Structure 1
């Protein structure tokens, strides 16, 4: 396991996303969230394998409670990354946002059973303009740090395009960005390199596009029908190179030089072991990476935006 140094913390190359431990989540999830005993066994397997970074949020059902109970009697050394939001609405005042922020942060602190969250990201919503984020969130971050509620701050973005201009902001030390083989705009535009060069800690999520890469065409709703030719092409490319779709999708992001950690969830212990195998897998050949880059340029926005799948 590789680690990235971040203000005294060691961030594992693979972070465990815990939304599946707190609620039913994912297009391919048919069993729902595990009970707490099984969640603890999943966390045990993760830590024993070298994973020391755990991603959660107040909106992830019981995820924070599960982590709080699990780590209550564990020695220090693991990194908890959580998120806050204040349910943005047009015209919201800074003071209203602050009231809502303190409520959710205090709930997170209680659930996680800590006095300070090491890394806390603002959880941007799909309809929230970035101008509003920049108007309000820096003030929230300053106040949260003044109260000692959080140590480091950042943004969890809904769209990868929202990352534009964030390299110049001193408030956002860490960024969590959706990215996968079909959503590569930040790479082709050179923005991912620019953000990392500015010292941002880069987490990438949605590597498997919430499980879409593993769905059969017949299981897709009308909104996702345009994804079929792209999914079929990915499967063909994987077969031609003697690998699985998971190996192709994971390896493409894993080998990017400007990514610090991949946030991957798990519903059971076996998925942790599978993700570790993917982490140790061979590099993708450069010609295959080039083909995937060209493929991504033609993907409709609705395919790479889970928030639009039900519409």
Structure 2
């Protein structure tokens, strides 16, 4: 079953779509094919949505799935709205299997995510998912350390490769993006790329100016930045547009702002009370469209044409299915996207920056 817009944009209208002769169909890998015979389109996957915009990722050597599974939750008790704690090893494997079955091929982890890399490594080894792409992160590098920077970089990288039980990492991000402004760090990573230990270099960034500087002056293939319906700084300050125009893939993280997007306004902690009015306004927009908040939040970010992939994490496997279904919904109308940006444009950054909570 697919969902399409009513002409008046006031609600989603659920219809079973029959593809006609020579109609457009989409398979589990998100590829378009033309069917000679009429059939019912029922398959849903994280790659199924056909964006009206071409995803331009010239520097990145692989195409990520529209959803990248964030795995901080697999190794830590992570997230403000997390009520279930860190999953067991069995549940972690269920999450990874559910993601893979749902068409997710890219997985985001980090050396600092507890046992996340080890759990992914065990899963990769036992399931032999050769088509998966692994994104990990280099811990912050202490430039004042007496240890040679290149030695530190290779030490951390080797530890990640060993934990993941692989011979290389498809994309290695500097967990503290500003570390890539250190020439020695860049040299060490470029050497690791030459040695076949990594395929792509990138950065996880919070600050728009640092993001622009890295795009302009370093050989990164990707950036990972916070983007949500409550945090649109990277949109407003031109980071996404600059990255896209430079051929740098943009991975959006914190799309649900650690679960704050889902919280009832009465449950907002005191330091987040300034979000009461914008969240209420967004809930009204979602209600008018006949959408749950998670679908509105996810697809508002998905429909930014600069976004290559959205990093999502879950504590339980069953939490993933709605996201995989929602990512395949049709694009939101442009006037709705404009309305969302207008609602959230003036939210102070300190309020939506989890490092300040």
Same fold per TM (> 0.5)? yes
Q: How far apart are 1:140 and its partner, in Å? A: 3.2
1:302 is paired with a residue whose SS is: helix
Report the equivalent of 2:33: none
Out of 114, 120, 131, which is 2:166 matched to? 114
1:168 and 1:26 map into 2 onto residues whose CA distance is 32
Structure 1: where are the runs of 5+ without partners? none
Cα 1:67–1:203 shift into 2, 3 Å:
same
* Residue in 1 that maps onto 2:69: 16
Q: Which residue of 2 aligns with 1:256?
A: 304
Residue 124 (structure 1) aligns with: 176
Give the match's secondary structure for 2:74. Answer: helix
Aligned length: 302
5+ residue gaps, structure 2:
1-28, 31-46, 48-54
* Residue 224 (structure 1) aligned with residue 272 (structure 2): yes
The structure having more radius of gyration, on CA atoms, is 2
For residue 241 of structure 1, what is the aligned residue in structure 2? 289
1:67 aligns with 2:120: yes
SS at match of 1:163: helix
State how far apart, in whole Å, the 1-side matches of 2:277 and 2:82 are. Answer: 23
Q: Please state how far the C-alpha of 1:10 moved relative to its aligned partner.
A: 3.4
Distance in 2, matches of 1:170 and 1:160, equals 15
Deviates more, 1:185-194 or 1:267-276: 185-194
Contact 1:160 1:178 in 2 (8 A): no
Aligned partners of 1:19, 1:171: CA distance in 2, in Å?
26
Shift of 1:144: 2.5
Q: 222-231 or 244-253: which moved more?
A: 222-231
For the pair 1:104 / 2:156, whether they are aligned, the reply is: yes
C-alpha deviation, 1:40, in angstroms: 1.1
Shift of 1:95: 5.2
Q: TM-score, structure 1 length as denominator? A: 0.89
Which stretch shifts more, 288-297 or 188-197?
188-197
Corresponding position of 1:76: 130
Q: CA deviation at 1:111?
A: 0.4
Distance 1:97 1:236 in 2: 51
Q: Deviations over 1:239-263 (max 9, x none)?
A: 2222111111111011111111111
Structure 1 residues 93 and 140, CA, compared in 2 at 3 Å: closer, same or farther? farther
Equivalence for 1:156: 204
Q: Which residue of 1 aligns with 2:16?
A: none
C-alpha displacement of 1:87: 4.3
The answer as to 2:89 corresponding to 1:36 is yes
Note the C-alpha offset of 1:43.
1.1
Asked if 1:198 is matched to 2:246, the reply is yes
Structure 1 residues 217, 97: closer, same or farther in 2, change over 3 A? farther
C-alpha RMSD of the superposition: 2.2
- The aligned residue for residue 317 of structure 2 is 269
Report the 3-state secondary structure (helix = DSSP H, G, I; strand = E; otherwise coil) of the residue aligned with 1:80.
strand
**2: CA distance, partners of 1:75 / 1:223:** 43
Question: How far does residue 146 in structure 1 lie from its aligned partner after superposition?
Answer: 4.1
Query: Partners of 1:261 and 1:225 in 2: how far apart?
Result: 30
2:268, 2:60 → 1: CA distance? 43
State the Cα distance separating 1:18 from its structure 2 match.
0.8
Q: Work out the CA distance in 1 between the residues paired with 2:338 and 2:208.
A: 20
2:74 paired with 1:26: no
Change (3 A) 1:294 1:72: same
